[in-house]
Amino acid sequence: MALSPAAPRRILFATPEIAPWVKTGGLGDVSAALPAALAETGLEVRVLVPAYPALVAAFPERVAMARIERPGAELLPATISRAALQPRLDLLLVECPAFYDRHGGPYQDRGGRDWPDNALRFGLLSRLAALLASDETPLDWHPDVLHCNDWQTALAAAYRRYRHKAGAAIVTTIHNLAFQGLFPLSRVHALDLPAAAMSIEGVEFHGQMSFLKAGLQHSDRLSTVSPTYAREICEPDHGFGLDGVLRHRRDRRSGDLVGILNGIDTRQWNPATDRAIAAPYNARSLALKQLNRAALAERCGLALQADTPVLGMISRITLQKGADLVIEAAPGLLARGARLVILGSGDAGLEAAWRALAAAHPGRIDVQIGFDEALAHLIEAGADLFLMPSRFEPCGLNQMYSLAYGTPPVVRATGGLADTVVDCTPRTLADGTANGFAFGPPSSDALLAAAVRAIQVWRDPGTWRRLQHNGMARDWGWAPAARQYAEWYRSSLGRAR
């Protein structure tokens, strides 16, 4: 389809992480797959990301495009370099070794402590995103839309407000409202923002500065990663103190806050082509899933019988993800003959509780603390059921991987989980929509009750096969979301302030 002359053609996509090189969670996956899907719709996309060591090593052929000697105040000089990823899709790396060439994670050192200069590190990323989107860009490439993602890039909208007048439309996507980029308000000067930005209309949030609030306030439009989460964040329960700002945006102009459901990268997550699993399979060869189940049991030291359901979980081990609820529900699950395989890392106290649980139940519960991409694939393929009892979940990717892998998920009905998982009932089985199990209250009792229901259905192979097929039949890929983003960009153009 030809793009009309008014349609945006060039998108600058700013993000703090991109898989497979730098990933702490779903944002890394999204930042790899969504720009690729956008490029496939005909848009020209450049992904702006800090030049972390893994990216520097992966792209030795990158070309320096511009040097920014004075980004302002305490922001350090940087070089923008470019590397090609696929047709119409390039990386723009922000090279500033003093900020980004560090061993550890993108946000934390190896000991799990936040880098002390994160305000400057992500202030620089935001500052340069705003510059490249403005009429003052040093590049001969002028984007129509700057698409910011999460707090690490959200300050771009404030730089546009206070430092640039003209340029691209700026849109910001919220992947998780719980992370806001809060710093002392006095850092405003170091970040080269004027004193006027210290007001409630600027970046101030309860006496601190909030990168995310700046983005919510000053972007032309906002989105989040599922329709249900778009509604939830406008209420105090899920608003993390920003629900008032979000309600204001939502009510002021229709379409200022939209929810676009993420997809999954079907190049990476497809059971028929997955090289990390023991035996690839599809909906017509589900019997092969048993081989993955056996391989998972062997890898994790689980004692299995034919009638013991294997429950998998891959997650940050945090309260958001309901990691504590699974600990409380574990005795009840074991009493029903279940085996548990858990892969994750996060909160030290919850990690210790998980380890203790595994130590108390050898052969029945296996806990792997750490980040292990290959094991994540084997769990998706080898488990019978997948657990995702999140207290809140903006979108969630793992439940979609599970659905695509014929591993029905047991989820709390919130955010993107509510938008993707259809609870198994006589009615949804009859109309062919049932694909998993959902529960309401954020309690271990409710989780256990849903998992017990799931185990009962699992013991009825005919019904189970229908559930698996329903999940596998849908295309969970990015194409529908890419079309919605393209339309969202188009309708954002006239709105630039």
Q: Does 343 bind ligand ADP (CB under 6 A)?
A: yes
Q: How far is CA 380 from CA 19, 170, 180, in A?
A: 19, 37, 31
Nearer to ligand ADP, 390 or 492 (CB): 390
Q: Which of 216, 330, 367, 376 touches ligand ADP by CB under 6 A?
A: 376
Q: Does 263 bind ligand GLC (CB under 6 A)?
A: no
How far is 163 from 178, CA to CA, in rounded Å? 28
List binders of ligand GLC among 303-362 (CB under 6 A).
none
How far is 224 from 261, CA to CA, in rounded Å? 8
List binders of ligand GLC among 141-180 (CB under 6 A).
175-176
List binders of ligand GLC among 44-73 (CB under 6 A).
none
Q: How many CA atoms lie within 13 A of 228 on its CB side?
A: 16
Cβ atoms within 10 A of the Cβ of 112, count?
13
Show the binding pattern over residues 194-233: x = contacts ligand GLC (CB under 6 A), - = does not: -------------------------------x--------
How far is 455 from 227, CA to CA, in rounded Å? 30
Q: Please, which residues have CB within 8 angstroms of residue 433's CB and are 6 or more apart in sequence?
A: 422, 470
Q: Does 417 bind ligand ADP (CB under 6 A)?
A: no
Stretch that binds ligand ADP, among 40-48, 59-67, 365-373, 417-425 (CB under 6 A): 365-373
How far is 26 from 407, CA to CA, in rounded Å? 19
Q: Does 26 bind ligand ADP (CB under 6 A)?
A: yes
Stretch that binds ligand ADP, among 111-119, 177-185, 391-399, 443-451 (CB under 6 A): 391-399
Stretch that binds ligand ADP, among 48-56, 150-158, 228-236, 393-401 (CB under 6 A): 393-401
Nearer to ligand ADP, 14 or 68 (CB): 14
Dihedral sign from CA coordinates of 317, 225, 394, 245: positive
Structure tokens that stand for 185 in this block = 């308000």
Q: Give me the sheet containing 44-50, strands edge to edge.
A: 63-68, 78-86, 89-95, 44-50, 10-14, 145-149, 169-174, 221-224, 257-259
Nearer to ligand ADP, 399 or 470 (CB): 399
The residues of the shown chain that bind ligand ADP, judged by CB under 6 A, are: 25-26, 29, 314-316, 343-345, 371-373, 376, 395-398
The residues of the shown chain that bind ligand GLC, judged by CB under 6 A, are: 25-27, 30, 175-176, 225, 262, 393-397, 416
